[in-house]
Structure 1
């Protein structure tokens, strides 16, 4: 499959550097977001030929298990922080949108608009994101078959935007559990869009801790290496300096040592199977 997508003035293309979408789940504070950008920047710079890093963080976690858990700083403050990171670290940025009205103002700052998994079939949201001309990353719904992910991509392309990507983040398997169908990666590749593998959400245990989701971060590197062997086009991973104290998705976020150890292993797997 051939593709070429401009992201923040850099080219993401088939066979080139893989996309590495990495950052904390949520903007917990300006200081924390800046600290995480610094930590990640230091760890990815030696792999500049292997990965095109995109910083990610959500300004609003609208889909929480409980209504009294933290959601983030909101759109205006979140965009201000993301713009600062973008400028100071010279890195493209990604964030989620949940409402159609958010697409235009968010696109004025970020390089990739992300459609959350539970909203991947929301036509108005997809069309609003497509209309901005920004790259649109669609998370595969936990309830959507791989062969059905062509529909969201079609909606974006029919709106005149060819820059759409699919991110695999696991499929619901009974209650409070997710599994990854690696054969589904092959199926989704037939839709002609870059395939990104969500290293950390695929090991999430949704709602598994009652008011919040659980997770198995220790399994995440193995899942990523299997996806690397398949030949995905990039990786999505949430990274936190103290995930056990994170305000969102702590149990499945990578700590910095796991993140640092994983990068060269992904490079080695790609080289071994290429």
Structure 2
């Protein structure tokens, strides 16, 4: 796999981590979370990208917290970069958000519900930033080829594809592990969004529910399949999180889980089974 954000050697040596709170709750909280996660990943030698949204435009209810907005949110993300020296990721929902966000962030994320929006993909590609596209819950993994072709047509410099579960009846998602090797055939890094895959969309009526207790199980399975990166929403107090608390990993459980995942990844690569080649 090739990526402009991480070197081929980094991708060959192990997975990278995209992690942080679902939404920017405050400057102090974002800085605290970035510092805590960066400290853990540096100790384990895991390449790290801080993630948080400045505007959650797809909340279930119009009364739900959406974030601080673009101007304030990007200012906070810039502070995270300056203080921690890590790349940052945020999502965009409209074409006019791409260029301003790209002035600050290293990775522009296309939300799952918008993964087929051609103009949004082209606007993100035009910035020259890494573009991470979440596979829609309604989309087969082989159909992500068309997303890749759109981005390549626009000369995207770096493309990541993220699995985040597929709709399984109402208010439920399931992960098809075949998705990882299928999407890796397109020649770009594949990321596993573990925590959103455990979301129960609209499961609480006016907000989503989730099954955070299964995070370690899915994360271990994804790493065993050979994903290039993991995406996890991590929060220091999930019950008080302003968005997606039910499917967030508690911060104090992150070190042990990452240690397990590093061991699994090293064992998978040492086994050289040929199931998924880096």
Partner of 2:156: 161
Tell me which stretches of 4 or more aligned residues in structure 1 moved more than 2 Å.
10-14
Structure 1 position 47, deviation (Å): 1.3
Paired residues, what number? 268
| Structure 2 unpaired stretches of 5+ | 270-278
TM-score normalised to the size of structure 2? 0.94
Partner of 2:140: 145
Structure 1 position 161, deviation (Å): 1.3
CA deviation vs aligned residue, 1:80-124 (integer Å, no higher than 9, x gap): 000000011000000000000000010010000000000000000
Structure 1 position 11, deviation (Å): 2.6
Partner of 1:240: 235
| Structure 1 unpaired stretches of 5+ | none
1:228 paired with 2:223, answer yes
Give the match's secondary structure for 1:182.
coil
1:256 paired with 2:254, answer no
- For 2:157 and 2:139, the matched residues in 1 are separated by 22
Partner of 2:93: 98
- For 1:225 and 1:44, the matched residues in 2 are separated by 17
CA deviation vs aligned residue, 1:120-144 (integer Å, no higher than 9, x gap): 0000000000000000000000000
1:15 paired with 2:12, answer yes
Partner of 2:273: none
CA deviation vs aligned residue, 1:143-171 (integer Å, no higher than 9, x gap): 00010011111111110114111000000
Partner of 2:275: none
Are the equivalent residues in 1 in contact too, given 2:129–2:157 (CA < 8 A)?
A: no
- For 2:83 and 2:157, the matched residues in 1 are separated by 29
